[in-house]
Structure formats: structure tokens, C-alpha cells
Amino acid sequence: MNLTESYVLKTKWGYVGIAWDVLGIRQITLPDPTHEACQKRLSANRLHKVLKKLPQPIQNLCKNVELYFAGNKVTFSSKTKFNWQTLTASQIKVLSKAFDIPFGKTVSYSELASLSGFPGGARFVGNTLAKNPFPLLIPCHRIIAKNKALGGFSAPQGKEMKREMLILESCNLYG
């Protein structure tokens, strides 16, 4: 088992945790109100070492996360390495297609299912997004219902955080 390292950073929206190992990013959390709550969610079921000096790719990622939650348009690098070990091949297909959804745009669960090679698989897409260990980097908040309803969101503040993230990106939720 690879050693997992982690870091918690403070953003304008709260505390965001990032965990990684030699294979890539293992998890990123969406903002929690306290450092302790973020650390608890980040470390659930993981042995890891908390770092104070970060490798350059993680420093760059932290800067982009801070910029995003400060209201700036951010495109996360396609060179970001993800540790996909806890996901199935089908889930990876869905999350890989979700990664391509640009800042300020949304697609429906059924559209993402078709793009991922699973026409009619909107429920599968929703279940996959609910388990997304890389929210924000793989922007599950940009996937909404066909009727423009928000759909689900498993962030600490639920659908309200999803709504706020879409507003931050100037997404038109009403047609």
C-alpha cells in the first residue's frame, strides 16, 4: 500500500483537503467550515502523513483551488494524475468525460451518460458522481438534471453548495 500524504488549505469558502500518493490525487474535499471537520473527512479510513512542505504539483493545485474559491475562472490541468484504484473502469469513463466539462458549462446526467458510452445510464452516472473522490477537479457540480434541476450533491452543504459553485461560474440554471 502506498503512503498517502495530505494537506488542508484555507479558501474563502472554507477548508479544502487534498490527499495523494505516488499514483496521483486520491481525494479532494469540498470546503468544510473548520480545519478539524475537513481533516476528519479527509482521513476517514486512511493512514496518511500530513505535510507542511508540498511537492510543486500539489502547490500548483492548491493555488488553483484557492483561485477558484476566490471567484476566478480556473481550468484544472489535464496533466493532473489521479489515483483511480478505488473505481471501476465504467466509473472512470464517466469521471473522465466529466473532467472535460468546461468552467461555466453544464450537461445533464443523461448527456454525460451518452458521452461516456452509456446511453440511458443517467442513474449510473448519478451514482458514480456521488462517489467522485475528486470533486472540483472532476466537476460533478456541473452535471444537472435534464429539466435544469440541480440533482443530487454529496458535498457537506449539499445542493446549496452545488448551486453556489454554479453561480460562481455564472452558469445559467434556468434555460
As annotated, the active-site residues are 140
HSE at residue 142, side-chain half, CA atoms within 13 A, is 23
Q: Are 17 and 28 in contact (CB under 8 A)?
A: yes
The residues with which 108 forms a beta bridge, in sequence order, are 144
C-alpha angle 94/97/99, rounded to 5°? 110
- What gap in Å lies between CA 25 and CA 96, rounded to an integer? 14
Residue 170 amino acid letter: S
- For residue 18, the 8-state DSSP code is E
Dihedral sign for Cα 125, 45, 29, 64, please.
negative
